[in-house]
Amino acid sequence: MDENNNRNGNKLPKNTQTIIVLIISGVLMLTLVSLMNSWIKSSTTKYISYTEFVEKMEAGEVAAVRVESDRIVIVPKKQVSQMVEFTYYTGFGVDRTTLYEACAENGVKFDVPVQDSGSAILDFLLVWVLPIVLMYAVLGFFVRRMTRGGGGMMGVGRSNAKVYVEKSTGVTFKDVAGQDEAKESLTEIVDFLHNPGKYVKIGAKLPKGALLVGPPGTGKTLLAKAVAGEAKVPFFSLAGSDFVEMFVGVGASRVRDLFKQAQQMAPCIIFIDEIDAIGKTRDTRYGGNDEREQTLNQLLSEMDGFDTSKGLLVLAATNRPEVLDKALLRPGRFDRRIIVDKPDLKGRLETLKVHSKNVLMDDSVDLEEIALATSGAVGSDLANMINEAAILAVKQGRNVVSQADLFESVEVVIAGKEKKDRILSEKEKRTVAYHEVGHALVTALQKDAEPVQKITIVPRTMGSLGYVMQVPEEEKYLMSKDELEARLVTLLAGRASEELVFDTVTTGASNDIEKATQIARAMITQYGMSEKFGLMSLESIENRYLDGRAVLNCGDATAAEIDQEVMTVLKAAFEKAKRLLSENREVLDKIAEFLFEKETITGKEFMEIFHEVRGDNKEKEAENEKADTGVAEMQELDSASAGQQEQTQEEDTNEEQRD
């Protein structure tokens, strides 16, 4: 640790800030005492001329005169009688003999006190030294109270790490679901902490650090706690922002203090959440941050300095691995990058089971169906859905959670609660009904679209006036060009329905247009699905685990051509949606009217009306009837053939008997 400190820029001792504060306090105290003395003197001092003094003395107003080292004190008679010594400080310059003669002529007492060196020293000590000593003692007392436990002034240099031992975490790998690959990587680390001998024997070294990377809510912090719980070792937990303060050098001091504590309690685990707060790339093009960079330098130094054989492991989590400094990510510091991504269907099902194990549910609950309906949800979303379903069941006076509660909770998390105070006019309600049925009908008419689960025109708190809930039939990791084009047609079908029925458009399609534009642009710039640009990457993704913002990697002229290509793709999808709805106008009107009355319909009700109006059931009945007729005719033919065969056999038998 001393070597690390020496490498850290020849910094002043740890208590430098305290010493500086005390010195400044002493200077301020001296100044304050001096000002107070000056104020006291000025409040009791009146400067008069020698002529005024003589006049007052001849008038019998002066009782005594005392000559001091820096002043002449005049005591008036009226104040002597009142036992108050109000002093007049004279500013006239006369010799002592002349002053004595004037006093003798007027019968005024004249006094020249003898200066005692002891009393002068005592006065100095009482007036100047004692107040300073007292102030120093008071300040020292408060400073010791504030810095108790070390770490500098007010503890700003002390680590704020929260220490969790095995009993405190209470989390193991059984509590983490849907992240099997991440758990497998971390299980090896736990095994090393438990059995370091077999790894050291073969020459293997424990990784110094592991970086957990993934979107928010996927369980990175939970995984870190599970590692500590499985290994049964102390767990130091901090956020990256805990290191950063307004004082330069405080973050580095906290890093030193943290690793010092950790080495004393090894084997143990240090977990730094949101490490990007201190681990950003050191870039001075736009002005650096000395405090953050010193903190990062100290962290790099500490990770190089500790001995892994003692069982000290550093875990960190971030949503933005692309902004981290390259020196932090090299082998020997964070040796492993563990991806904690959104769970797949199997992972979502396991996560739902973990979060619902203590929730009472009835026999109608099918968690697999809920997992299929929540594609893209992370662990925190799924936990919230289970909790919302339980709350909804209690509000409705039931003791168990039903499947309907779970589906309603999915809608609450995705679209918000029903906004009961928002009452639409009849015209707006009908417009929303046609808009949503337009989406659903085009979905049913396309073979590459996901089936409809529910249609509603009840407003939600997240801003939607209605929506169509679609549930995929299976989990997909790839999407074909046909599926993306079908998605575009579905998104633009709401606007197409409004234009077809009302011959006008509203603002209700803004979110649909935004999503459709994003898909069309990605098809052209990222997926290579444009005949004009071919297999050319024109965009890159930044902050992949957060907003996934796309940044163009082309010139202005190419960007303008991309915009034209996006417009062409969207226009073709809109025209197709409008054509499909025109060809099925009767179905559109029928379902929209039913939705207008009911406000919410299920996917089953939607498909029943769809097949009924299109005549699909009648055609099937006709086909079945035709098939039944064909079967009956075949049976009659078989019977006739069998009868004829029996008659032939009987005739042959009679002929044999005659012979």
Which tokens sit at 41?
């003197």
Strand partners, 324: 280
Is residue 615 left, alpha or beta, with left meaning phi > 0 and alpha meaning psi from -120 to 50?
left
436 is catalytic: yes
Q: Do the Cβ atoms of 440 and 455 come closer than 8 Å?
A: yes
Give Cα separations from 259 to 237, 252, 295 (angstroms): 12, 11, 13
Strand partners, 452: 470
Q: Do the Cβ atoms of 218 and 378 come closer than 8 Å?
A: yes
Residues counted in the chain: 659
SS3 annotation, 235-273: EEEEEHHHHCCCCCCHHHHHHHHHHHHHHHCCCEEEEEE
Q: Can you spell out the DSSP letters for 572-630?
A: HHHHHHHHHHHHTHHHHHHHHHHHHHHSEEEHHHHHHHHHHHHTHHHHHHHHHHHHHHH
Is residue 233 left, alpha or beta, with left meaning phi > 0 and alpha meaning psi from -120 to 50?
beta
How many C-beta atoms surround the C-beta of residue 615 within 10 A? Answer: 11
| Angle (CA) 656 658 659, round 5° | 65
Q: Do the Cβ atoms of 255 and 304 come closer than 8 Å?
A: no
Q: Which residue has the tokens 């033919």?
A: 637
- Find the catalytic residue in 291, 350, 436, 499: 436
Distance CA 140, CA 155 (A): 15
Pick from 320, 314, 324: nearest CA to 255: 314
Distance CA 487, CA 480 (A): 11
Q: At what angle do helices 130-146 and 16-43 cross, to 10 degrees?
A: 140
Residues that are catalytic: 436
